[in-house]
A and B are shown apart, each in its own frame.
Chain A
Amino acid sequence: MEEKEMPNPIEQLQKVSWIKACTTDSIPENEGGCVMIKGKQIAIFNFTKTGEWFATDNQCPHKMQMILSRGMLGDQAGEPKVACPYHKKTFSLNTGECMSGEEYSIQTYPVKIEKNEVFIGLRD
């Protein structure tokens, strides 16, 4: 696996500490997986179609369900998104904003890939 790092503005603004989450092959292509980090459930998405990786909260803010890692990936006018399996609310993987017109949003986290490992950046 080649080494690559996703540029992420949050990282430039704030100091983050990188935490090893899982291996790249544990998240199937074009799907998500959930990891538990420091007592928090985080969804990691392997957006193979564009070669990008994303991480967000696993909890959907609509009905507070721990489910987004099982959501469906896609894009809307080029903006990568995930659709919650319960009621199909969609969220931007870049900003966490709800793209189905709701006020709530989800937290997104920076991701980097080193060798075959996925790291999540958590703010200190």
Chain B
Amino acid sequence: MKQKIVVAGNGMVGYKFCEKLIAKNELARYEITVFGEEPRPAYDRVHLSAYFEGKTAEELTMAPLDWYAAHNIQLVLGDPVSFINPVNKTITSMKGVVVSYDKLILATGSAAFVPPIPGSEKDGVFVYRTIEDLDLIMDYSKKARKGAVIGGGLLGLEAAKAVADLGLETHVIEFAPRLMPRQLDEAGAVILKDKIEELGITVHLSKGTASIDGENAIKALTFTDGVVLDVDMLVISAGIKPRDELAVKTGLAVGKRGGIVVNEYMQTSDPNIYAIGECALFQEMIYGLVAPGYEMAEVAVAHIAGIERTFAPYDMSTKLKLLGVDVASYGDCYGTTPQSKTIVFEDKVKGIYKRMNISEDGKTLYGGILVGEAENYNMLLQTFKNGIVLPPNPEDLMLGSRGGSDSSANGLSMLPDEALICSCEGVSKGDICGAVRELNITDMAGMKACNKAGTGCGGCVPLVKDLINDTMKSLGKVVKTVLCEHFAYSRQELYDIVKIQEIKTFDQALDQVGKGCGCEVCKPAIASILSSTWNEMILKHAPLQDTNDKFLANIQKGGTYSVVPRIPGGEITPDKLIVIGSVAKKYNLYTKITGGQRIDMFGAHVHELPDIWEELINAGFESGHAYGKALRTVKSCVGSTWCRFGLHDSVGFAIRIEERYRGLRAPHKLKSAVSGCVRECAEAKSKDFGIIATEKGWNLFVCGNGGSNPQHALLFASDIDEATCIKYIDRFLMFYMKTAEPLSRTATWLNKMEGGINYLKEVVIEDSLGICDQLEREMQFMVDTYACEWAEVVNNPELRKRFKHFVNSDEADPTVAFKTEREQKFPVDWK
């Protein structure tokens, strides 16, 4: 007779229970039925916010429906368990299905805790827990302007990011006097608050909410101190409440403040009923993280299968990225262990706070906090967990790479084999190194497939990679960053090979130094190298180009393209503005001013592109290369010509620079800006290279970056004249184009460069490698051979032929559809 197992709850932990039971290979012994309340199979709640960034519900799914079917699991969705009869051992679902069980698993998770504030039932008030919640929030946010989040803890800040990303003015309201009161101390919380407020989010501390006001929909919040805050949307994210209502109804023991009481085998007060995940209360503690939930699933599976395994109080260390800020806390983060000392490092300018609590003799790490930079978290956590003796200057461990790159390698080798590296999947250092040694695993993808390390929260990935590399080194295997399976070389090596062996086509490269047919990684990389070396018309290598370069335009939702003519320095005559307007009107294009001071026209069918460009080129425009990994724009402020503070002509210099480097293909896009004085209205310090006027000349900054990981450019040379500035930029850009990995911006390139900015100065300014002459010559060649790609296409009937949707008819794609909003056209949303 098969044992009947019923699982109530198909969340992350309920799913993991099934997966682990199946992994025991004893399926033949069990018959599994799963009831889920939500309409869809279990999904990755930890990465729920990724749904806002375009991940689909399917992509977040833990396993598709087929998986359940393939393993003979009966999965009933949208139908929660509503009644348990522990005497007859049966359950009844809401829709009236009755199933008997031998073992019942409660994996009902938790619900968002909604404090009893009058008005919480109003329209526009949400919680942040399920995909459905997110759909509702997204929908409502379209008509909202100002949003608030109640709760300044981990989940509240996560929700705040979502509200801010939806474009609402965002307020965070926390009852405690500091953010993240469970993970951070006062000083750490202050740094976090500063960083969050820099993003334009307002943080209100020590604020209790008295009522949620408005007639049907929320209009404002009134705080207990009488202050009123106008908002038209609210997300409540003030903690969790274990879903123990079923257990209560059944008469199982529950905790005073909720949670189903379990023993070390995860059994409830009825030995045939188990509780796991966020609904379970173990030694008066609810574990609101996924890793301990997975361990509970493992323990319950073991117990049912008759294997001895017990649950022990779990370490609640966490590392998170909240609103782009790294926050980590581990072990005894407040230093409450008797006779402990504390080392604190604080940099208010950069927004970094680090604290470690150690024993009086300085040998043992008890715990700590990291805010603003948490690179060393994994090493610190491992040191703490494994009780490794601290080095003589323990702060080195926390402050990072001052002691050179060896220190972390030594640290790794000191870890015992049992050290748990991936706590989500329970993979130890010994498992990882063993897989490299015995199974010949050489990369992260292989490791994931082999033992699932790093497939959970992903926090351990850097450490796993280091372990793979270290183990390979110890085996005498070469560790190399290679492009892909087709080329066993790094981009820099290929760059030299292309140049020295005079390789002019991709096939030549494949034949001489590669294998196979190529792929979406090496084709664009080689295309970029070919064009950085020989500067030939980009469409000569059309099959290698990403679709943007293939059609010399940016592909947009729905399959149409956008058109961006170059407007050097952002300066444009009224006549040219009129041309853009009339072209956009004629072809019914959506127009928008870009962040780079030019105009983008969207919604062109592929066959219209050559006609549109013909008109633009006849009016004196040229390609803006918005589609290429190439120089985009050189932004400028008005400078001395108009501005009362301006020191030099920033517009004129910006135009000169933009025209010099236009069309230049590089490992990634390049942006630049010129400001006319220190007020920096052109934001030059956020660019790959930026120039700011000084009394005596210009200051040159390099390797800045906006985007998802902003980084300020660093001062490279001061008070230099225009010619010197251009000379340095020539050398700098060429050196970058030759040595960077594919798709790495100048900031990333510099971060990885040994010796950093000082080394870069030695190479580019002091010519320490003796290559500056060559770099300048190569750049001059690029400048001299520049030609507008669109002009070539427009004048070449063969090339023009490429621009159509069907090869067997001249029709446009009939599936392209638009809608109208704010008097302009937009593509319809994608499914």
Contact = CB atoms under 8 A, between A and B. Distances in A.
Interface string A9-31: 00000000000011000111111
Contact of A50 (B66, B517, B522, B808): B517
Nearest to A64: B831
A72 B323 CA distance: 35
Contacts of B813: 41, 66
Contacts of A28: 542-543, 802
B807 interface: yes
B805 interface: yes
B806 A75 contact: no
Given A64-B830, A64-B831, A86-B555, A76 B543 contact: no
Interface residues of B, number: 39
Contacts of A7: none
Contacts of A80: 517
Contacts of B755: none
Interface in B27-62: 58-59
A8 to B, nearest CB: 19
Contacts of A64: 830-831
B811 interface: yes
B546 A34 contact: no
A23 to B, nearest CB: 9
B519 A76 contact: yes
Contacts of B523: 72, 74
B697 interface: no
B800 to A, nearest CB: 13
A29 B543 contact: yes
B815 interface: yes
B748 interface: no
Contacts of A72: 519-520, 523-524, 543-544, 546-547
Contact of A75 (B507, B518, B555): B518
Contacts of B548: 85
Contact of B808 (A29, A36, A70, A83): A36
Interface residues of A, number: 41
Interface string A42-79: 00100101100000000000011111001111111110
Contacts of A112: none
B58 A103 contact: yes
A103 B66 contact: yes
A96 interface: no
Given A28-B542, A29-B543, A73-B543, A22 B808 contact: yes
B516 A78 contact: yes
Contact of A31 (B543, B805, B806, B811): B543
A35 B808 contact: yes
Contacts of A103: 58, 64, 66
B517 A75 contact: yes
B85 to A, nearest CB: 38
Contacts of B510: 49
Contacts of A86: 555
Given A63-B830, A64-B831, A83-B519, A31 B546 contact: no
Interface string B786-823: 00000000000000001001111101010110000000
B456 interface: no
Contacts of A35: 806-808
Given A31-B543, A66-B559, A26 B807 contact: yes
Interface in A75-110: 75-78, 80-81, 83, 85-86, 88, 90, 102-104
26 contacts: A27-B807, A29-B543, A30-B543, A33-B806, A34-B805, A35-B806, A35-B808, A36-B809, A47-B517, A65-B557, A67-B555, A70-B551, A71-B547, A72-B546, A73-B517, A73-B518, A74-B518, A74-B522, A75-B518, A77-B485, A85-B555, A88-B520, A102-B58, A102-B59, A103-B58, A103-B66
Interface of A: 21-22, 26-31, 33-36, 41, 44, 47, 49-50, 63-67, 70-78, 80-81, 83, 85-86, 88, 90, 102-104
Which 10 pairs between the two chains have the least Cβ-Cβ distance? Answer: A74-B519, A85-B547, A83-B520, A33-B807, A30-B543, A75-B517, A63-B830, A26-B807, A35-B808, A49-B517
